[in-house]
Amino acid sequence: MQSTHDADVVVIGAGIGGLTAAAYLQALGKQCIVVDRHSVVGGNISVFSHGGYEFDVGTHYVGDCEQGGLGPSVYGALGLEDAVRWRPLDPDCFDRYHFPDTTYDVPSGIDRYRERLSGWFPDERVGIDAFCTFVSDVDEALATSLAGRATDKATLLLTYRDTTLGELFDTWGLSPRLRAVLGAQHGLYGVGPARASAIIHALVVMHYMKGAYYPEGGGQVLSDTLAAFFRAQGGEIILQTPVESVIVEDGAARGIRLRPPSPLRRRGVPTEIRAPVVVSNADLKRTVLDLVGPDHLPADFVSRVEALRMGPPMLVAYLVLDRDLGAEGYPNANAFLFGGDDHDAEYEAIARREISSEPSLFISFASLKDPTNERLCRPGQTNLEVMTLAPPDHAFWGLDRGPAAGERYRTNSDYRERKQDLVDMLVDRAEAVIPGLRDSIVHVEGATPVTHERFVRSSAGTSYGFEVTPDQLLDRRPGPVSPLPGLFLTGQGITTAHGIAACMAGGVLTAGVIAGMPLLQMVRSGEVVVESQPAGSAVGA
């Protein structure tokens, strides 16, 4: 067996952030190797197939994908502008909010949204104007900051860095229902309005106000496109191979050690990869505490990372129905279901290691968003996911240490019973949005925070990374440069935070720091790093 392998850069984790960083560095002339423990690239945005149906793990919709938007710009700068097709959700209703007494259809465009809000709440136009102006200004402040330009709004990020969304709502004197509607997207980052950063909420709102999209072919296309480009440029991806540790010598990262492959895995995988630059796209806590080790890092940095709180994980029911909901008149939109106006009560229940009796639901209809993907379901059927936030504690799920510590759980009767009960609860609750849902199910399976921890190795099984509270955002998170020379960071744990677009931006940012160039600014301004897509780099190659 080959014992060592050399590269300019080795990337831990083939999630979208790691792949983006690797693709750009490879295009800039760095010889890169990406290593991942899973059998496919993509991490949180991979897909899986069971029972002849394909399901997305974490791709439900992406904003800012209009021409010149962040998503198309990241691919376009690599000459891949036509490799990903972005299918728009219904611009008149990309999100539908279901409350016990009424529904609200959210349109694209902040001005259209302002007009619709004013029609729903005619006596609260002043608060509505304040909200819409705030989210627009924050988005502009971030965009100009990334572009290196100064405007009169540039100080907004500093002005509101310590402000929660709930505090803003209090300042504007909003009614409980208007607060609930304006804060309805809290589930996209997993923090209630009372504690959520007002800045992150503004950025999430505007991300989708620019248009909500879904990648044709599903989330796997996003990562496969980058992987194919990366390989065509000469990069190497090693899958099904866990990283055991980062090699630290003479006070600097010098590569990684790989866990010896089992006899069932292919031969030729090295035990070490030596490189002067190591990029970790792995969970930040596991990177610091397990892969590097506290002894190799400053104590204050280790304490800072240890103290960071994780966002809550998800419980998901993956369903296929023997009904065509599109033909029944359901819009090409996501559905949010709320039991009332108090969003914070749900997070208080999770803190008590409970799930609310009427939890908020997010329902994503994959086959309505991408009817061209025949892998999702048969003609006349609908593929969808129903999800809610859930407690992360292993004890809640009947476990002791969890799969990252080697605990087996799939035959654990306590775990199986808890999972089945909660998946049944999701199905029953979703009947409020889709009457007759249970009677039309032809395939159902569930995924818990334990499932996510097993496959992605995220702390607390979360797909959100760290909580997006004011004390854990912007420069209060680590940046791409770690205190260990040679070790760089990317993914949802750094300043760019979580989400598909944010992690792609983080990958570009990290690559730019390593290459010594303002790469993210260049990408956002439409510059091209690679003039044309190389031969053989088609999706799926």
The number of angstroms, rounded, from the C-alpha of 254 to the middle of its chain's C-alpha atoms is 29
3-state SS string for 313-363: CEEEEEEEECCCCCCCCCCCCEEEECCCCCCHHHHHHHHCCCCCCCCCEEE
Judgement on whether residues 295 and 322 belong to the same structural domain of the protein: no
Question: Per residue of the chain (541 residues), what is the pLDDT tens digit?
Answer: 456 779 999 999 999 999 999 999 999 999 999 999 999 999 999 999 999 999 999 999 999 999 899 999 999 999 999 999 999 999 999 999 999 999 999 999 999 999 999 999 999 999 999 999 999 999 999 887 776 666 677 788 889 999 999 999 999 999 999 999 999 999 999 999 999 999 999 999 999 999 999 999 999 999 999 999 999 999 999 999 999 999 999 999 999 999 865 554 556 788 999 999 999 999 999 999 999 999 999 999 999 999 999 999 999 999 999 999 999 999 999 999 999 999 999 999 999 999 987 899 999 999 999 999 999 999 999 999 999 999 999 999 999 999 999 999 999 999 999 999 999 999 999 999 999 999 999 999 999 999 999 999 999 999 999 999 999 998 899 999 999 999 999 999 999 999 999 999 999 999 999 999 999 999 998 889 886 554 444 433 3
Contact yes or no for 97/179 (Cβ under 8 A): no
Judgement on whether residues 204 and 118 belong to the same structural domain of the protein: yes
Residue 115: inside a domain: yes
Residue 93: inside a domain: no
* The model's pTM: 0.95
The count of C-alpha atoms lying within 13 angstroms of the C-alpha of 80, restricted to the half-sphere facing its C-beta, is: 31
Judgement on whether residues 254 and 319 belong to the same structural domain of the protein: no
Contact yes or no for 40/33 (Cβ under 8 A): no
Contact yes or no for 197/50 (Cβ under 8 A): no
Judgement on whether residues 415 and 327 belong to the same structural domain of the protein: yes
Judgement on whether residues 12 and 67 belong to the same structural domain of the protein: yes
Q: Which of 127, 442, 131, 492 is nearest to 308 (CA)?
A: 492
Judgement on whether residues 286 and 433 belong to the same structural domain of the protein: no
Judgement on whether residues 180 and 326 belong to the same structural domain of the protein: no
Residue 540: inside a domain: no
Contact yes or no for 163/470 (Cβ under 8 A): yes
The number of angstroms, rounded, from the C-alpha of 318 to the middle of its chain's C-alpha atoms is 18
Residue 537: inside a domain: no
Judgement on whether residues 329 and 396 belong to the same structural domain of the protein: yes
Judgement on whether residues 441 and 334 belong to the same structural domain of the protein: yes
Judgement on whether residues 284 and 357 belong to the same structural domain of the protein: no
Judgement on whether residues 303 and 324 belong to the same structural domain of the protein: no
Residue 53: inside a domain: no
Contact yes or no for 417/377 (Cβ under 8 A): no
Structural domain for 140, as ranges? 109-209
Which among 184, 209, 234 is the end of a domain?
Answer: 209
